[in-house]
Amino acid sequence: MKRHLFTIGGGLAGIALTVALLLTGASAIQGRQSAATPDFALETPDMADVPDADVPDLGGDAITADAQPVTASESSANIGDGNGSGAIEPHGVSVRDIAPEQFGLPEDVTAQPLERIEPRTPLSQPVARPEPLPTVLRHPVALSAGLIQFGGRLLQLDGILPQKADRVCGEAGRTWPCGVIARTALRNFIRARALLCNVTKNSWQGTLTTTCRLNNADPAAWLAESGWAEVPAGSPLAGKVEAARKARLGFFGDDPRTFDTTTAPPAETPLPGDANAGADTTDQGL
């Protein structure tokens, strides 16, 4: 029994000692903080001790407590020269000209006359185009008056305007398929023989416009003098086309299927190695 009492008493004594130590430490810490940062009182000055502030004179009117509030429009009108004009004039400030015509070049450049100088030399030499060479083209097929196909490549005779095979001539009620007849006339003139044309090597893309020869005859000149061609301005074949127009040949005449006005092509010697000589068997009904 006594042992239990001593145990309880010892525990209470330990607790009391611990509390005493904590209180002593807290008092010591508070004393140090008070010594490091002494307390001071914030004093508020009395308004009677404040001297009168200098108030700027705006227009000579005194500011009173009964003054009405000034609106934004009135305040903007009073700014400036004091007359209510609203214009703000800078004092001693240079104004930069913002005219659009002054943005490109300065005045010292635009005031002087311009001088044309020689162009600079090219950085690289232009690539020379290869000269066209006479080339024998075989198996020609006339698609229209002036347009010839060689395999999968197209060639337009130089000096005449391209024509369409579905062209129709004549007046209303008396029309005739002049485009098909012109194509048949060119096929009969060529007769599947090879042509000698000026072709640039390895540069044939799309439709090539160039001159051709059929032995000693020019297919473009033959079409022009037969009336189956139209020429652009300045073409050397313009005289032949005008003569055919006056003679009412080809496109400029009537339907040739009603009467015989077709002139036979001149006799020509086929080129060596040309085994496709013979009359054209297509469009024989026209």
Q: Is 152 inside any structural domain?
A: yes
Residue 97 domain flag: no
Task: Work out the pLDDT band at 8, boundaries 50, 70, 90.
Answer: confident
Name the domain count of the chain: 1
Do 130 and 118 touch, CB atoms closer than 8 A?
no
Top mean pLDDT of 4-18, 41-55, 74-88, 252-266 is at: 4-18
Residue 98's pLDDT is: 66
Q: Please indicate, yes or no, if residue 273 is contained in any of the structural domains.
A: no
The answer to whether residue 268 sits within a structural domain is no
Per-residue pLDDT band for 241 (boundaries 50, 70, 90) equals very high
Integer angstrom CA distances of residue 208 from 128, 158, 199, 205, 282? 19, 9, 8, 7, 25
In a domain, 144, yes or no: yes
**Does 214 have pLDDT greater than 60?**
yes
- The answer to whether 154 and 206 are in contact (CB under 8 A) is yes
- Rounded Cα distance between 32 and 50, Å, is 39
CATH number at residue 197: 2.40.50.90
At position 252, the amino acid (one-letter code) is F
DSSP alpha helix (H) spans, the chain: 2-36, 72-78, 107-110, 178-190, 219-225, 238-246
Mean pLDDT rounded to a whole number for the chain: 76
pLDDT digits 0-9 by tens, 158-210: 999 999 999 999 887 889 999 999 999 999 999 989 999 999 877 788 899 99
Residue 278 lies in a domain: no
State residue 211's pLDDT score: 94
CA pair distance 212, 199, nearest whole angstrom: 9
Residue 12 belongs to a domain: no
SS3 state of residue 73: helix
For residue 174, the enclosing domain spans 134-252
Tell me what pLDDT residue 43 has: 64
Q: For residue 168, what are its two tokens?
A: 């129709």
Enter the tokens of residue 56. 């700027």
82 found inside a domain: no
**Long-range contacts of range 177-183, CB-CB < 8 Å, 24 or more positions apart?**
177/286, 178/250, 178/251, 179/144, 179/145, 180/283, 180/286, 181/256, 181/257, 181/286, 182/144, 182/145, 182/223, 182/228, 182/250, 182/251, 183/142, 183/143, 183/144, 183/145, 183/283
| pLDDT at residue 186, as a whole number | 95
Reported as a pLDDT band with limits 50, 70 and 90, residue 279 is very low
pLDDT confidence of residue 6: 78
Per-residue pLDDT tens digits for 114-168? 788 888 888 887 777 778 889 999 999 999 999 999 988 999 999 999 999 999 9
Question: Over the range 202-237, which residues count as b (16 or more CB within 10 Å of their CB) and which as e?
Answer: eeeeeebeebbebeeebbbbbbbbbbbbbbeeebeb
Strands (E), the chain: 133-137, 140-144, 147-150, 153-157, 195-199, 207-210, 212-213
Q: How far is CA 278 from CA 105, 188, 206, 274, 283, in A?
A: 75, 10, 29, 10, 15
Strand partners, 210: 157
DSSP string, 8-34: HHHHHHHHHHHHHHHHHHHHHHHHHHH
User: Greater confidence, 64 or 33?
Assistant: 33
- Whether 282 has a pLDDT exceeding 50, the answer reads no
Q: Do residues 138 and 194 lie in contact, with contact meaning Cβ atoms separated by under 8 Å?
A: yes
Band (pLDDT 50/70/90 cuts) for residue 283 is: very low
